[in-house]
A = this chain, B = another copy of it.
Amino acid sequence: VHPRTRERILAIADRLGYRPNALARGLIVQRSSMIGLIMAGWTNPSYLFMLRRFTERLQQEGYQVMLLTSSSEEDTDTALQQLLQYQVEGVFIVSTQPSLPVARASIRAGTPVVLINRNWPSAELSTINCDNYDVGRQMAHTLVTAGYRRLALLQGDPALPPNVQRCEAIREVVAGTSGFRIVTDLARCLGYDAGRQIMQALWAADERADCVICSSDTTALGVLDGARFDLKLGVPDVFGIVGVGDSAQATWSAYQLTSVRFPVDEMIELAIDELLSRLNDPSQPPRSMTARATVVNRNTTRGPGQGSAHIPDKRWVTR
């Protein structure tokens, strides 16, 4: 094409307000350039960063992101079906999962699905996950080796697989450790205020706990403030606390909370890489990856660690 003509036509097109219709193009080339993203678990603060990275990278790779919310598995099913109708080329599902028949539908449609923070029984979907049993084991061991004896277990949502897996592993460790036992076991303890109040109850109980495992950092920080401010307890000397998530606040010098760190950044990049590579080569089989979380010992548990801000070793197990 002559540059002259090209220029002229482009100018006219612009003046006429012409925009190529990406939908019509998608129809004919059989590529929508759209990727679906189904999100649950919005209370996890690191998901803001996740959303950002997803959109940034996919945009960069020439895709558009279609974002859907789910608050139940039925939601996830309808969301996934919607996305398939919109001809997305792939979909990420975060902290939730579709039913088997709907998942099968996506497989038949040839649309790769990547599950994040959820397991999948068969090898039909890519998954990227933490070993939550291991997380539970590590948390319990941290407390045991620090010499605590009477554990309070402050669970989150008992319907969430990661929560039950963690707790199961904790109970296993407890069962296998003489002299260490669970004196309180509460579900649905979430948030700063809940933590702070529950600390009072723990101390008023017949059998006082001397350490606690919380289902989130926010809860743990509430417990910590309850222990230090309200009860004037020596933390970590008389009372030990461990949280989950290694949030920014956990690292603040006012808190220095011992917490479980997930390699969030790596998980995100890996999830994107996995989907992109399956998009480039549809014959590639779905992979299941397990990330290793580590507890970072700070100042709410006795023991060796003193505000160690070390980067955990990233060990990936691929099946």
Contacts and interface: CB of A to CB of B under 8 A. Distances in A.
A20 B82 CA distance: 10
A21 B105 CA distance: 14
A178 interface: no
A86 B105 contact: no
A229 B253 contact: yes
This chain: how many copies in the complex? 2
Interface string A58-83: 01000011111100000000010110
Interface in A44-99: 45, 47-49, 51-52, 55-56, 59, 64-69, 79, 81-82, 84-87
A298 interface: no
Contacts of A45: 45, 48
A252 B82 contact: no
Interface in A232-283: 248-249, 252-254
B105 A17 contact: yes
Contacts of A210: none
Q: Which of under 10, 10 to 19, 20 to 34, or 35 or more describes the interface residues of A?
A: 35 or more
Given A225-B253, A248-B192, A64 B52 contact: no
Interface in A3-57: 17, 19-24, 26-27, 32, 34, 37, 39, 42, 45, 47-49, 51-52, 55-56
Given A48-B42, A225-B252, A254-B229, A86 B64 contact: yes
A7 to B, nearest CB: 18
A82 to B, nearest CB: 7
Contact of A69 (B19, B56, B66, B222): B56
A196 B68 contact: no
For the complex of A and B, the 3 pairs showing the least CB-CB separation, nearest first, are A48-B48, A22-B85, A55-B69
Given A17-B105, A42-B49, 11 more contacts: A19-B85, A19-B109, A21-B27, A22-B82, A23-B23, A39-B52, A45-B45, A45-B48, A59-B69, A65-B68, A249-B249
5 contacts: A22-B87, A39-B55, A55-B69, A59-B79, A65-B68
